[in-house]
Chains A and B, each alone.
Chain A
C-alpha cells in the first residue's frame, strides 16, 4: 500500500499519466498508453520501469524516495555533476612543504638510489648477455615511483606498463625475485615465464607489468571499479607513459572513470619520448595534464624530477580521489637517461640534452645535496648509504645468477587453473 502511495507521488511529480508517457517515449522509444502509466498510481510502478523513472527524477532535480529504489540500486550512478570544487587542487600554497620531514627526505634518497643501483646492475647484466628479450630501464625517472608510493597506502592498487621493475621495488617486492625473473630463473617472480615486462605481485597489490602500450589503463580503472564495488576507500594508481597517452583505450578509460567516479589516479610518466618519437611529434596538445578536461577530469602537471613535488601532488590527488570526486590526472614531467630499451642507441636526441638533464635535474643528486646542505646527513653518511645499497644489490644479483634456471615442468603449468 505504501508502495502505491509512493508510486502515485512519483507519477504526479513527473507530470501525471499523459506527460510521463510522453517522457518515457522520448527516453526509451517505447510507446506506452497514458492510461497504463496512470494505472501505476494505483498498482505501483513495475520494477522494469523504475530505473528510467529514477533517472527522470534525478534529472529534474526531484528527490527519489528511498523505498522506490530497487535492491542494489545506487542513486549516485544516476547523478550527473559537472561542477567540482577543483580550486583546492591548484592552490600553490607552500604550507604543504612543512610535511616534508628530514626522515622523508632520507627515505626518498634511499629508495631512489636503490632503484637506480638496481637498474644499473640490470643494464650491466644485460650487457653481459645474462638477460634476454626486451628490457626497459627506469633510470632518471626514480622520483615518480618513489614520490607516488610515499603518498598512497599499501591497500591501494598499482599497475603500469612494461617499464615496471622500479614500481615493484617501490611496492615492496624483493629485488632478488626480480633479478631472478630477468635471468629466467625458477625463483623469478613469474617462475621465469614473464620476463622484464610481465611481473605481478598481488600480495603487494601490484598488478603488472603489461607489455601492450596503454592496455594497462582500462585494467587500472577495472581495479578501481572493484575497489569501489567492494565499498573500500582505496584507490588505483594507473601509470602509463606519454606514448601510451595517445592510445584510444586511454580515452575510453577517462570517459568511464569519470562517468562512474572511479577512484583512480592516472599517473602519466611523461619522459618526453614514446620510444624514439618526441612528444612534440606524437601528441596534438602537448599538455597531457589537460587531456582529461572534456571528460571533466582535473589534471596537474608536476615536476617529475623532484620527489618532493611528486609526493605533494600525489597527496593532493589521493585526497581528491578518496573524497569520492572520481579520477584525476597527474602528468609527471620526467626524463629517462637510457634508451627506450636496452637495444636503443637513442639517436633521436642529442648527448648534450641527456647530459644537461643529468647535470641539472637529477632527482637523486638534488635530494643528496638537500640532505647535505640542511645537515641532515654528512658526506660520509650519504656515501655509506650508497655503499650499503650497492652491496645489497650486488649480493642479490649474485644469488640470482647462481640460482637454478626455470624448471622445465613450468612450461605446462598455469595455462588454466
Chain B
C-alpha cells in the first residue's frame, strides 16, 4: 500500500498500460510538453515520446473523431479533454460515432477508446467550466460511464477502461486530483459495473459518486453525532449501475437519499430512485429523496457557488429532516 494522489494514480494507470500495449496512445490538448493542464500526464512524453503522447491543436471535434478512426484502425486511444465541458464540441463524435458504431455495424466494428478528463465544478470557474456531464452520458446505450472517487479506484477503474473493447467515458474531478488515498501495490483492475460500500450503516443509504462520496462521508460523520448510522455507497460505475448493491442496502436501511453534483431533472438520482421504487417499494419507510445542484447554471461568486452544490452540512440536515418527519 502506498499513499498517492488521485492525479498520480491516473497517471500510473496510463503509464502501466502503455508499457504493456504499444497500440495505446494518449491524445489531447497540452498532454505532452505541458504535461497536462492539470499535470495528469507528468513524465509521459519523456517516457513514451511524441508518437504516443500527442499534443493536439485546440480542435475537440476533430481530435475526438480522429481517435474514433484510430480505434477503428486497431489502436487504443486515450482521449484527454482538458475539462469535460470542452467535450460538448465533440459530443457528436462521442455519441454518434463512438457509441453507436458497434450496433449499427451489426457487431462488425467496435471502438475501444477512453475519453477522460475532469468533470463537474471546480472552484469558482463558473457555468461554462463547471458542467457535470454524468447524466448526459449515462443516458446513452453503447457507452460505459465511470466516475471514481479515490486513488485506488481511479487507478483500477482506468485500467479496466483502457482494456475495455467499448467506448468508456471516464469522469474525473479536479478537486480530487490533489487528494491522497491508499493504493494497493501491483497490477489490479476494478471491474466495471460494481459499486463499493464506502461505509457500512443501518439507518439510511446515501448513494453518490465522485466528489459526492466525500460529501456523503462527511455528512455521515455529522449524522453519527445524532446517532444515525448511514451507509455510504460509491457507485463508481454510472452506466451500468450496480442496482443490486443499492437495493440490498435499501432492504437493510429502509431509507435512501441520492447525492449528486449534477442537476436533479432527469439525473442519476432520478434513475436510481425510480429503480428502487419499482423493485424495493415495500422496503421503504419514507419517500426516497434526491439531493443535487440547484436548478441554475453554476454561479461564479464563492458564496453563491457554495449554495448551489450539495455540501456535507446540507446533506446531513436534509437526512435529519427526512428521518424525523417521515
Q: Judge whether A221 and B69 touch: CB under 8 Å.
A: yes
Most chain B beta-carbon neighbours within 10 Å: one of A52, A202, A226: A226
Which residues on the A side are within 8 Å of B50 (C-beta)? 51, 72-74, 77-78
> Which of these, A55, A199, A217, A259, contacts B65 with CB under 8 Å?
A217
A172 CB-CB contact with B under 8 Å: no
Give bound CA distance, A221 to B33, whole Å: 23
Give bound CA distance, A217 to B66, whole Å: 8
Most chain B beta-carbon neighbours within 10 Å: one of A47, A218, A222: A222
Of A204-212, A298-306, A352-360, A367-375, the stretch lying at the interface with chain B is: A204-212
Give bound CA distance, A157 to B104, whole Å: 19
8 nearest A-B pairs in the assembled complex, by CB-CB distance: A222-B69, A218-B65, A226-B73, A72-B49, A252-B62, A47-B46, A73-B49, A190-B106
Give bound CA distance, A70 to B34, whole Å: 16
Question: What is the minimal beta-carbon distance from A189 to any residue of chain B, in angstroms?
Answer: 7
Give bound CA distance, A215 to B69, whole Å: 11
Give bound CA distance, A224 to B45, whole Å: 22
B238 CB-CB contact with A under 8 Å: no
Q: Judge whether A51 and B75 touch: CB under 8 Å.
A: no
Q: Judge whether A208 and B101 touch: CB under 8 Å.
A: yes
5 contacting pairs across A/B (C-beta < 8 A): A47-B43, A199-B105, A211-B96, A229-B73, A416-B166
Q: With CB as the reference atom, state the residue of chain A lying closest to B65.
A: A218
Which residues on the A side are within 8 Å of B56 (C-beta)? 256
Give bound CA distance, A190 to B97, whole Å: 15
Question: What is the minimal beta-carbon distance from A337 to any residue of chain B, in angstroms?
Answer: 28
Question: What is the minimal beta-carbon distance from B8 to any residue of chain A, in angstroms?
Answer: 16
Q: Judge whether A190 and B104 touch: CB under 8 Å.
A: yes
Q: Judge whether A256 and B59 touch: CB under 8 Å.
A: yes
A415 CB-CB contact with B under 8 Å: yes
Instruction: List B residues at the A interface (Cβ < 8 Å).
Output: 23, 25, 32-35, 43, 45-52, 56-57, 59, 61-75, 92-93, 96-97, 101-110, 141-142, 144, 165-166
A413 CB-CB contact with B under 8 Å: yes
Which residues on the A side are within 8 Å of B109 (C-beta)? 200, 202, 207-208
Contact with B along A334-375 (1 / 0, CB 8 A): 000000000000000000000000000000000000000000
Q: Judge whether B51 and A72 touch: CB under 8 Å.
A: yes
> Which of these, A159, A193, A215, contacts B93 with CB under 8 Å?
A215
Question: What is the minimal beta-carbon distance from A190 to any residue of chain B, in angstroms?
Answer: 4
Given A226-B72, A416-B166, check contact A218 B106 (CB 8 Å).
no
Give bound CA distance, A69 to B187, whole Å: 29
Q: With CB as the reference atom, state the residue of chain A lying closest to B58.
A: A252
Give bound CA distance, A259 to B101, whole Å: 28
Q: Judge whether A71 and B43 touch: CB under 8 Å.
A: no
Q: Judge whether B61 and A223 touch: CB under 8 Å.
A: no
Give bound CA distance, A202 to B107, whole Å: 11
Give bound CA distance, A1 to B165, whole Å: 45
Which residues on the A side are within 8 Å of B57 (C-beta)? 252, 255-256, 259
A188 CB-CB contact with B under 8 Å: yes
> Which of these, A188, A227, A253, contacts B73 with CB under 8 Å?
A227
Which residues on the B side are within 8 Å of A41 (C-beta)? none
Which residues on the A side are within 8 Å of B35 (C-beta)? 48
Contact with B along A176-212 (1 / 0, CB 8 A): 0000000000001111111000111110000111111
Question: What is the minimal beta-carbon distance from B74 to any residue of chain A, in angstroms?
Answer: 6
Q: With CB as the reference atom, state the residue of chain B lying closest to A262.
A: B66
Q: Judge whether A48 and B72 touch: CB under 8 Å.
A: no
Given A48-B43, A415-B142, A416-B144, check contact A72 B33 (CB 8 Å).
no
Question: What is the minimal beta-carbon distance from A59 to any residue of chain B, in angstroms?
Answer: 14
Give bound CA distance, A4 to B93, whole Å: 46
Q: Judge whether A218 and B93 touch: CB under 8 Å.
A: yes
Which residues on the A side are within 8 Å of B73 (C-beta)? 157, 222-223, 225-227, 229-230
Give bound CA distance, A19 to B209, whole Å: 50
> Which of these, A55, A70, A193, A226, contacts B47 with CB under 8 Å?
A70
Which residues on the A side are within 8 Å of B108 (C-beta)? 189-190, 200-202
> Which of these, A73, A190, A215, A222, contacts B105 with CB under 8 Å?
A190
A246 CB-CB contact with B under 8 Å: no
Give bound CA distance, A207 to B97, whole Å: 11
Q: Judge whether B46 and A215 touch: CB under 8 Å.
A: no
Which residues on the A side are within 8 Å of B166 (C-beta)? 416-417
Which residues on the B side are within 8 Å of A405 (C-beta)? none
Most chain A beta-carbon neighbours within 10 Å: one of B23, B47, B51, B72: B72
Question: What is the minimal beta-carbon distance from B141 to any residue of chain A, in angstroms?
Answer: 5
Q: Judge whether B102 and A226 touch: CB under 8 Å.
A: no
Which residues on the B side are within 8 Å of A227 (C-beta)? 73
Q: With CB as the reference atom, state the residue of chain A lying closest to B64.
A: A218
A325 CB-CB contact with B under 8 Å: no
Most chain B beta-carbon neighbours within 10 Å: one of A50, A74, A202, A416: A416
Give bound CA distance, A229 to B74, whole Å: 10
Give bound CA distance, A15 to B144, whole Å: 51
Give bound CA distance, A9 to B56, whole Å: 30
A129 CB-CB contact with B under 8 Å: no
A272 CB-CB contact with B under 8 Å: no
Q: Judge whether B65 and A215 touch: CB under 8 Å.
A: yes
Q: Judge whether B59 and A215 touch: CB under 8 Å.
A: no
Which residues on the B side are within 8 Å of A202 (C-beta)? 72, 108-109
Question: What is the minimal beta-carbon distance from A40 to any residue of chain B, in angstroms?
Answer: 14
A220 CB-CB contact with B under 8 Å: yes
Question: What is the minimal beta-carbon distance from B95 to any residue of chain A, in angstroms?
Answer: 10
Give bound CA distance, A74 to B102, whole Å: 33
Q: For window 53-97 of chain A, which residues contact chain B by CB distance below 8 Å?
A: 55, 69-74, 77-78
A414 CB-CB contact with B under 8 Å: yes
Q: Judge whether B67 and A222 touch: CB under 8 Å.
A: yes
A248 CB-CB contact with B under 8 Å: yes
Q: With CB as the reference atom, state the residue of chain B lying closest to A27.
A: B33
Give bound CA distance, A103 to B71, whole Å: 38
Which residues on the B side are within 8 Å of A414 (C-beta)? 102-103, 105-107
Which residues on the B side are within 8 Å of A224 (C-beta)? 69
Which residues on the B side are within 8 Å of A417 (C-beta)? 102, 110, 165-166
Give bound CA distance, A167 to B63, whole Å: 25
A275 CB-CB contact with B under 8 Å: no
Q: With CB as the reference atom, state the residue of chain B lying closest to A256.
A: B62
Q: Judge whether B70 and A223 touch: CB under 8 Å.
A: yes
